[in-house]
Chains A and B, each alone.
Chain A
Amino acid sequence: MRKLTLAIAVIAPMLGHAASAEDTIKIGYIDPLSGGGASVGEGGLKTFQYLADELNAKGGILGHKIEILPLDNKTNPQESLVQAQKAIDAGAHYITQGNGSSVAAALEDFVTKHNTRNPGKEVLYFNYAAVDPSLTNEKCSFWHFRWDASSDIKMEALTNYMKDVPAIKKVYLINQDYSFGQSVRSDARKMLGAKRPDVQIVGDELHPLLKVTDFSPYIAKIKASGADSVVTGNWGQDFALLLKAAADAGLKVNWYTYYAGGAGGPTAIKQTGLDHQVFQITEGFPNSGNQVAMDFEKAFRAKVNLSLWYPRAVNEMRMFKAAAEKANSIDPVKVAAALEDMKFDVLDGGQGFMRKDDHQFFQPIYISSFGKLAANEPFDEENTGWGWHLVSRVDTPQAMVSTTCKMVRP
């Protein structure tokens, strides 16, 4: 993969890469490949490389081969901009990124400025996992497309599910104190209030991001509030520690989460023994029951040795191909035009579409729970023996939100 020798490549950043082989479509993959976020970034990279191989095996896009350029941003916005510049120098007209909304915001801003200042050298930014709603609202850009459901879409879908569950009476919100956590919290308040006015929100907590080592005081508060359900956007150690503290204290509630399936999440759930009490909201999951998706999952696991955490990456790459073929060009401006309002059959079944107004992709959303597997559910997670089980599917029309985006078109 890293073809240059150690010696030569140290000099390479100085000289810049000559744009070789115009034939290939280069996609700059900008995500953490070292440091704390590396396990997530490596997983995404393997997914994209798998997808590129898959497309290349079928002749690529309009006869062009696809090459993924791995670029390490160390989850740092400034570093991401440097890496984006590197990708552009190497001849990439497409970049993709997902981890960290702060990185996404910086990249979106960078791509917009770059395209205004360098007409004829446009770059498209495909976002596969940064879910901050502002990216397709006040900060929206013509050059940015998002395949992941933004956090408000997920909350819309989740509350559409919750409104039909009468057992939910008291909800506690606990989130990380940053833009994503705050949008989860405010959306939950707003949407639950509108759809289930009888549900009481008995607590609304924001804790600092990745700084809490002991969640037992928070658990004490949840317990004191008498909540029956907790909604949380926590991920990483903030999720694992929260759940551990809850299990230690013997807290019995249902957990509605965004990222329980993230790296380390399944391990933590299995440790606590919370069987089918942790729910996750995603655009797809391994045991969805859709045969095509499950075959894909099987092949993917066999080759990459990971579970498919990004079904949206599959949608992104396949839809990119479809759009290029529709435009009959790999020119970014034409591909962008073709993507607008494009309809697409997603991996896990059902139809989604890329809304022209804000470049947000809308798709069916699934709510699944984690626990012991049934006979027809072959896929477990992180070798725990437990896996995801379908609880509810929310169709595209029930998973849509409005936008405030005022798109500036070139």
Chain B
Amino acid sequence: MTKATNSTSKAGADTSSGSLRFYGVWLIGIVALIVLPMIFSSGGSLTSFSLIGIAIVFALSYNILLGQTGLLSFGHAVHYGLGGFAACHMMNAVVSHGWPIPLPFIPLFGGLGGLVFAVIIGWVMTKRAGTVFAMISLGIGELVASSSLILRSVFGGESGITTDRTALPKMFGWSFGPQLQVYYLIAFWLVLSAIAMYALTRTPLGRICNAVRDNPERVQFIGYDPHVVRYLAFCFAGFFAGVAGGLAAINFEIANSAYLGAIQSGFVLFSTFIGGTAYFFGPILGAILVTYLQLGLANLTSAWQLYFGIIFIGIVMFSPGGIAGLVMMHRPLVRAGTLWTVIPSYLVAVVPTLALACGVILSIETVARYSGGEPIDLFGIGFKPTSPVTWVAAVVLVIGGAFVARLSWRRIAEAWDRAATVARDRGYLA
């Protein structure tokens, strides 16, 4: 779990080119954020990008808990939701009192909303880590979500509270009515929060968080209280989750109890874990992928939850480092120049693995659509869920695919071992 530290200490060897590359990556990210809406300009893609931006901030904030400090929370959406409500109330207050606060500052108040709750509840919650913390967070999440329906004056019941982002004072002549302007606002806050959260991992607090995650007893021996460290991490995570919630409130112009609920908490857990918790960019990948799948998959298949579950289980079992972990595994090979020895076995594995995946998809869709009789359209080939041909095809693909895929995976493992040995011999640690 200390790969992040390894990789950066290694970068110290060639500082100048390392830092150049480091800033290069950030710059490329920023440029991509600016250019993206110029390439994909439809309303739907702008909405998608905005949602992905919000999800990234949210997932990064969650990773302060899960990846950095080792705290598994099932109630992180509480801060997100409270941030959203704080932002909505603030926007309405700005309008009704005529305060000179333009919209771009609103997410800050969202962050404060998330932070205040974290400060209040965090001390009790972070007394213990591990399973107990997970359970408490689940209970608190339920408690807050249920209470939000009772405290109507603040949370507006189940229909929530609405606001109008265009009614706030203008900034640079932007009304923030068009989605494009909102997208840039979100992108701005995304960059700001990402830099802040990255910087946090570089501070002594960030490092001691990692230590608390890995070995709390030893942290105690060297004179830090793990409880305090966990509490601080919890507060930071709450703040940035609140920022994400504030951005969501601006994007949707509504805050309601769905923000606070278990589904939202599960969503951020999925994103972060699938992306990979050990690297800073893991949650970013995860948030992009999961938001994207959520937007796209739901309209394709009613069983999208099942695909999520399967992907998640697969990641937990076979690649606990997430997608980022898989990507970073190749780093020493790239450096040692042995990656090319692995690629052929990858290519060989593609076909059976795809066949297996198709078989699984076909089986799931057959069961899901059996009663409705809707045809399944898989890569342009139509299948009828009620016809035995489909069942046979699914079974053959699953069994045959699994059999051949296992062989090909074994080949990958062998090729991998060889390449890694060579890389290790050349002095690049895996």
Contacts and interface: CB of A to CB of B under 8 A. Distances in A.
A and B touch in the complex (CB under 8 A): yes
Interface of A: 1-7, 9-17, 33-35, 38, 70-72, 74, 76-78, 81-82, 85-86, 88-89, 101-102, 105-106, 109-110, 113, 117, 132, 134, 177-179, 208-209, 211
Nearest to A1: B374
Interface in B261-310: 263, 292-293, 295-305
Interface stretch (B43-51, B63-71, B117-125, B314-322): B43-51
Q: Is the interface of A mostly helix, strand, loop or mixed?
A: helix
B158 interface: yes
Contacts of B259: 78
Contacts of A2: 299-300, 374, 377
Contacts of B345: none
A110 B304 CA distance: 26
Interface string B352-395: 00000000010000000000001001111000000000000000
Contact of B40 (A6, A16, A38): A16
B373 to A, nearest CB: 11
Nearest to A16: B42
B157 interface: yes
B300 A6 contact: yes
A77 B258 contact: yes
B45 A16 contact: yes
18 contacts: A1-B374, A4-B300, A6-B361, A6-B377, A6-B379, A12-B296, A13-B45, A13-B48, A13-B292, A35-B305, A71-B299, A76-B263, A78-B248, A78-B254, A102-B158, A105-B159, A113-B164, A208-B149
B256 interface: yes
Given A105-B162, A106-B252, 12 more contacts: A9-B299, A13-B48, A14-B40, A35-B305, A72-B298, A74-B263, A89-B43, A102-B160, A106-B159, A113-B253, A134-B159, A178-B157
Contacts of B421: none
A85 B44 contact: yes
Contacts of A16: 40, 42-45
Contacts of A89: 42-44
A85 B157 contact: no
Nearest to A78: B252
Interface residues of B, number: 48
Contacts of A70: 299
Q: Is the interface of B mostly helix, strand, loop or mixed?
A: helix
A88 B46 CA distance: 13
Nearest to B378: A6
Interface in B230-254: 248, 252-254
A177 B377 contact: no
Nearest to A135: B159
Given A35-B305, A85-B43, A113-B253, A5 B377 contact: yes
A76 B300 CA distance: 18
A134 B159 CA distance: 11
Contact of A34 (B166, B248, B302): B302
A85 B380 contact: no
Given A1-B374, A15-B42, A34-B305, A102 B177 contact: no
Interface of B: 40, 42-45, 47-48, 51, 146, 149-150, 157-160, 162, 164, 166, 177-179, 248, 252-254, 256, 258-259, 263, 292-293, 295-305, 361, 374, 377-380
A96 B159 CA distance: 18
B300 to A, nearest CB: 5
B252 A81 contact: yes
B298 A77 contact: no
A251 B150 CA distance: 30
Contacts of A81: 252, 254
Given A10-B297, A82-B295, A109-B253, A88 B43 contact: yes
A7 B295 contact: no
A117 B44 contact: no
A15 B45 contact: yes
Contact of B159 (A78, A179, A209): A179
Most chain B CB inside 10 Å of its own CB: which residue of A9, A34, A71, A78:
A78
Nearest to B365: A6
Given A6-B378, A34-B298, A117-B178, A106 B254 contact: yes
A206 to B, nearest CB: 10
Contact of B256 (A38, A102, A134): A102
Q: What are the nearest 4 A-B pairs in CB distance?
A: A16-B42, A89-B44, A16-B44, A105-B159
A173 to B, nearest CB: 18
Contacts of A177: 149-150
A13 B288 CA distance: 13
A109 B162 contact: yes
Contacts of B45: 13-16
Contacts of A88: 43
Contact of A86 (B44, B252, B303): B44
A81 B258 CA distance: 13
A8 to B, nearest CB: 9
Contacts of B43: 16, 85, 88-89
Contacts of B149: 177-178, 208-209
Nearest to A75: B258
Contacts of A11: 296
A117 B178 CA distance: 8
Most chain B CB inside 10 Å of its own CB: which residue of A35, A81, A105, A134:
A105
Contacts of B51: 82
A110 B163 CA distance: 11
Nearest to B377: A5
Contacts of B256: 77-78, 102, 106
Nearest to A117: B177
Given A88-B43, A113-B253, A10 B162 contact: no
B365 to A, nearest CB: 9
Contacts of A34: 298, 302-305
A5 B365 CA distance: 13
A13 B296 contact: yes
A53 to B, nearest CB: 15
A388 B299 CA distance: 35
B159 A101 contact: yes
Contacts of A208: 146, 149
A216 B254 CA distance: 37
A111 to B, nearest CB: 12
